[in-house]
């Protein structure tokens, strides 16, 4: 049985600050339950009534804690299917950073610039692993994503879905699943934050598309210097746009 320190004393008719403390204790207790039972994403959780009995707290405290954990993607609640351990994704972080980017979008665009720098740093940090995986291959799937981007640009359309597919497939070879998720999380923040900041599409957006091809060329050739240069070129149009916007 998982114990909640002072949960009984703080539950019920306590002062607001104490109720918050009780809620936090219940959140921690449910997380402890998941850890102690070695549960993983998708594994079922007990019902609210069972959790209430196990933890020795009120149903309202359990529900409040579950709402908090659901917002963090630690718990998944599906009507008709019960509760399970959530996907433990980066969704909460994405929402927080994206809100921060929108908050200062009208001021200095500092968060968006930082997001771009983080994306570039992540890409560069994978240089050796990506070259090891791609050296000597042909990569028709990645090439097709780039061709799809070119067609979108030629038609005056956005190419976010093609770009997402490219970066998702590019990172799929890495053994570091955290890096995969983090890379795509910052891709989503970047893609949502640019239009939210009111920035127009860069005039030299074709340079970004061409940089995707250069990335593939460098990886297939096993050339780390060329890969790093291509990554920098990939972000150059947006970085120039941000510099102009800051003036």
* pLDDT tens track, the chain, 247 positions: 444 444 434 344 445 545 556 668 999 999 999 999 999 999 999 999 999 999 999 999 999 999 999 999 999 998 888 899 999 888 888 888 888 877 776 666 888 889 999 999 999 999 999 999 999 999 999 999 999 999 999 998 889 999 999 999 999 999 998 999 999 999 999 888 888 777 777 778 889 999 999 999 999 999 999 999 999 999 998 888 888 776 6
Residue 227 CB partners (closer than 8 Å, separation 6+): 127, 130, 131, 215, 218, 219
Which helix (DSSP H) or strand (DSSP E) does residue 243 occupy? helix 224-246
Query: Which candidate, 245, 231, 8, places its Cα nearest to that of 122?
Result: 231
Question: pLDDT value at position 108?
Answer: 63
Cα dist from 183 to 8, 95, 141, 176, whole Å: 43, 15, 19, 11
Total length of the chain = 247
Question: pLDDT value at position 1?
Answer: 45
3-state helix, strand, coil in the chain (%, to 5): 70, 5, 30
CA angle 59, 65, 70 (to 5 degrees): 125
Do the Cβ atoms of 1 and 54 come closer than 8 Å? yes
User: How many Å apart are CA 40 and CA 30, to the nearest integer?
Assistant: 13
């Amino acid at each position: 049985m998982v114990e909640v320190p002072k949960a009984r004393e703080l539950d019920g008719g306590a002062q607001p600050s104490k109720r918050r403390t009780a809620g936090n204790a219940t959140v921690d207790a449910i997380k402890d339950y998941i850890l102690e039972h070695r549960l993983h994403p998708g594994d079922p959780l007990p019902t609210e009534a069972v959790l209430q009995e196990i933890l020795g707290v009120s149903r309202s405290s359990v529900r409040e804690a579950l709402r908090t954990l659901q917002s963090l993607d630690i718990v998944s609640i599906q009507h008709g299917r019960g509760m399970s351990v959530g996907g433990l994704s980066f969704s909460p972080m994405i929402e927080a950073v994206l809100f921060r980017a929108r908050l200062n979008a009208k001021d200095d665009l500092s968060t968006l610039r930082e997001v771009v720098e983080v994306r570039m740093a992540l890409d560069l940090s994978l240089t050796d692993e990506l070259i090891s995986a791609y050296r000597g291959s042909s990569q028709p799937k990645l090439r097709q994503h780039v061709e799809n981007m070119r067609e979108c640009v030629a038609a005056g359309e956005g190419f976010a879905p093609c770009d997402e597919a490219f970066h998702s497939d590019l990172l799929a070879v890495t053994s570091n699943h955290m890096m995969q998720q983090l890379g795509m999380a910052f891709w989503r923040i970047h893609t949502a934050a640019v239009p939210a900041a009111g920035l127009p599409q860069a005039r030299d957006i074709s340079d970004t598309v061409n940089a995707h091809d250069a990335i593939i060329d460098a990886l297939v050739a096993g050339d780390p210097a060329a890969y790093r240069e291509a990554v920098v070129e990939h972000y150059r149009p947006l970085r120039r746009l941000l510099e102009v916007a800051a003036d």
